[in-house]
Structure 1
Amino acid sequence: MHTHEYITMIMHKFVNRSEELEKLRAYLEKRSLIIVYGRRRVGKTRLIIEALKDTPHVYHLCKEEEPRETLVSLSKKLYHATGDAQFLESPPSSFDELFELLGGIGITLVLDEFPLLVKNYPRILGLLQEYWDFGEGGSVVLCGSSVSMMKGLTDYGSPIHGRRTISVKVKPLEFRHVGEFFPGYSPEELVRAYGVLDGIPEYLLRFDPSQSVEENVIREFFGRGYLYEEAELLLRYELRDLSTYNTILEAIAAGYTSFNEIKTKTGMDGSKLSRYLSTLEELELVKREYPVLPGAAKRRRKGARYGLSDNYFAFYYSFVYPFKEEIELGLLDVPLENFRRKFNRYLGRV
């Protein structure tokens, strides 16, 4: 099978989302306000589209654009979904009008990357609250990759606090499903692929199943392919002060895992470091593990160790980020030698 044929096959195959799919479909049978979140590339949009296959809906991907442009786009999509000419002849000039029209047609509205719309038009949350409290329209699905912002939608003080029907967190695939992307790989090679890519479907699709893991790594990371830039793009999406987070993640990947070790390695103030580590834990990029020790809980907390909880980030900050200058210059001897010498030992943590 040629590579492009295999990718086409996988794109039409829905891997291990039966639980989330069943849950979404059940709630879409009634009027529901659904929040779907999870890190970028994990498969949120595909899950939503799959759940809505037999449900009248309008899907809109929010962008960095003026609210007026969003309204124009939504009006066209509503016309195509309903056949109602009023959406073209007299399109809504405000979101107030849009929600008023939606209240009469009972169609499901999907707003993907919803935090971008909130950023460009904060009033949308209040309007959504009114629509939900007093309207009679269909379901609304709010989807986003900014985990912190999506969680904040349901916090006390948010206009839609207490309105959501259900939240669905889309997680990476488990290791046992990786073989569905690489049917020709040995069990050992599957472990190697999982150790680099974790269970992120988009990343798994970037590896050519006809090539070895090492060949794919050389092309995608050391050859400055798609996966080379992805880690820092993800961090920029969630965080400011990227340089500080890079320093912390590199230190942990290098084996500095206690709080004092990280503090010494990074040279950061303890209280500042604690805040940064807490943020990384909230984003589920870093995990904190406590030793099994007898005695007081305080003693166990002092023995806590930090680790990278995502294999893709662990690989990137172990083998790519420390050698970015060499990779940018095309001087690959040292990065490749380091990868080949240390990769098997790295896999012991996976």
Structure 2
Amino acid sequence: MFIDRNRELAALEREYARDQASFVVVYGRRRVGKTALISRFIADKPAIYYLATEESEPQNRAVFQSLVADYLHDDLLRDALLPRWEPVFTAIARSAAEARSNGRRLVIVLDEFQYLGLANPEFPSVFQRIWDTILAKANVMVILCGSLVSMMESQVLSYDSPLYGRRTAQIQLAPIPFRHYGEFFPGLGMRELVERYAVTGGIPKYIELFDDSGDIFEAIESNVLNRSGVLYDEPMFLLRGEVPEVGTYFSMIKVIAAGNRKAGQIAAALQVPVTAVPGKLRTLHNLGIVEREVPVTERNPEKSKRGLYRIVDTYIDFWFRFVQPNLSYIESGHPQVAMARIRRNFVDNHVSYVYEGVCRERLWSMGAEGRLPFTPERVGRWWGAGDVEIDAVALSDADRAIVFGECKFWKEPVGANVLRVLEERAGAVDWHRGERKETFALFSVSGFTDELKSIAAARPDVVLVDDSVPA
């Protein structure tokens, strides 16, 4: 299934329609769907697709040369002994020029481009020369694709890269948002969709693995707790390709998952100076694993001293909460111990928090669709002294309007007492106090009591989002 990549496909089509050669960089974490996106894009176009490997540069060049020779039906190119890349790209450019008459452009895809730079650190310079002297004026569209985010940034995107300034577009492919999960799992209710999202996190390959499982726990048992399962060692695979000190970053994610949210707490848990923490946290942020959040009402988030760190990759969060602490049992042949703990704590210790994130995402959609009395400028969480927290807050400084949201992943309907608690917590928020327009939004996967429904019917400042009812 090909879901939710319309904007990215449109961006590629715009580049293809350019009058001049285009140079597009597509990158993102493993299994996020980059190759599927590119394959869909080139399906109706003349294209040369090459998947680089971790072999040596000469081996990669020989395979690429053979691939191009097959595409061009060029026996001389196939049999030539070429110590350089330039003649191969010259042959491509010549063929592309011949295709110009019928209005077609040749697409050249170099997938896992970072492996060419690993095989030869000078390859970005080599490809810069190829682009500048051969491809920049040819009838081509070049797509460089890579799954090691840090390497793609250093080899292609950073100011220090020889290729800096050459690209005409770049696409960092993100996980698929929750709002599209109903398309992957038609017929499932909100509760089941959130449970699947809480493990698969918008990664198409993970979603595919869970597609045939009617029960979330069966899917976890076969794909995550199974030592031969695809997802069992996934966090280690992700980190090995991106960071030099895998153990250090592994430990940092582990202590954050254990509840250490402040930089000082993380440093203390790791027994390192506080100064050793920020740089590594930035790396994890760039990889889409960790984010720093501040109360949504903070006016200068970057300078705020109230920042907390949390794991935003829901699969990584799940793995470090439930798999990592039980690795000894799993490795010793007792995965049922881990499974029992997951069954007991999956909802309260993981899914309920993921649901809060889903509700925050939906506040943006509700504002855009006119379902809120204003258009939000910021959406996030709020917390204050005494452990007072509000799950979801949307606000507009221009309108001096704010939505306070509470999200309940309960088995029972939500009652009026939850609204009263939310109103009490809202009173602790010192943001345009006394002059703001307040709205209270309650989200529930099990509906609402008749009492709360009556209150909402009489009060325009109370919005109920009933996720027990199919959309």
TM beyond 0.5: yes
**Gap change, CA 1:130 and 1:311, over 3 Å in 2:** same
Q: 1:87 corresponds to which residue?
A: 77
Structure 2 counterpart SS, 1:228: coil
2-side partners of 1:77 and 1:294: how far apart? Answer: 55
Unmatched segments (≥5 aa) in structure 2: 97-105, 355-471
Q: 1:205 corresponds to which residue?
A: 208
Task: Tell me if 1:14 matches 2:14.
Answer: no
Contact 2:256 2:311 in 1 (8 A): yes
Task: Tell me if 1:43 matches 2:33.
Answer: yes
Contact 1:103 1:131 in 2 (8 A): no
1-side partners of 2:73 and 2:296: how far apart? Answer: 63
Choose which of 131, 142, 145 in structure 2 pairs with 1:143.
145
Q: 1:328 corresponds to which residue?
A: 331
**Gap change, CA 1:199 and 1:297, over 3 Å in 2:** closer
Contact 2:298 2:304 in 1 (8 A): no
Choose which of 209, 230, 234 in structure 2 pairs with 1:230.
234
Matches within 5 A, 1:113-262: 113-135=112-134, 136-137=137-138, 138-152=140-154, 153-224=156-227, 225-262=229-266
1:333 to partner: Cα distance? 4.3
- The higher-RCO structure (CA 8 Å, 6+ apart) is 1
1-side partners of 2:334 and 2:132: how far apart? Answer: 60
Q: Which amino acid aligns with 1:226?
A: V
1:116 to partner: Cα distance? 0.6
Structure 2 counterpart SS, 1:179: helix
Q: Which piece of structure 1 moves more, 44-53 or 136-145?
A: 136-145
Q: 2:14 corresponds to which residue?
A: 26
Unmatched segments (≥5 aa) in structure 1: 1-12
Contact 1:250 1:322 in 2 (8 A): no
Q: 2:353 corresponds to which residue?
A: 349
Structure holding more helix per residue: 1
1:8-41 alpha-carbon deviations (Å, 9 max, x no partner):
xxxxx31111110111022123411110001110
**Gap change, CA 1:283 and 1:159, over 3 Å in 2:** same
1:175 to partner: Cα distance? 0.9
Task: Tell me if 1:289 matches 2:300.
Answer: no
Q: If you compute each CA radius of gyration, which structure gives the higher value, 1 or 2?
A: 2
Aligned-residue CA RMSD in angstroms?
1.9
2-side partners of 1:88 and 1:343: how far apart? Answer: 56
Structure 1 counterpart SS, 2:176: coil
Choose which of 272, 278, 289 in structure 2 pairs with 1:274.
278
Q: Which amino acid aligns with 2:124?
A: L
Structure 1 counterpart SS, 2:77: helix
Task: Work out the number of aligned pairs and report it.
Answer: 337
Structure 2 counterpart SS, 1:302: coil
1-side partners of 2:296 and 2:5: how far apart? Answer: 34
2-side partners of 1:269 and 1:208: how far apart? Answer: 45
**Gap change, CA 1:207 and 1:50, over 3 Å in 2:** same
TM-score, structure 1 length as denominator? 0.90
Identical-residue share of aligned pairs (%) = 34
1:40-62 alpha-carbon deviations (Å, 9 max, x no partner):
10000111111112221111111
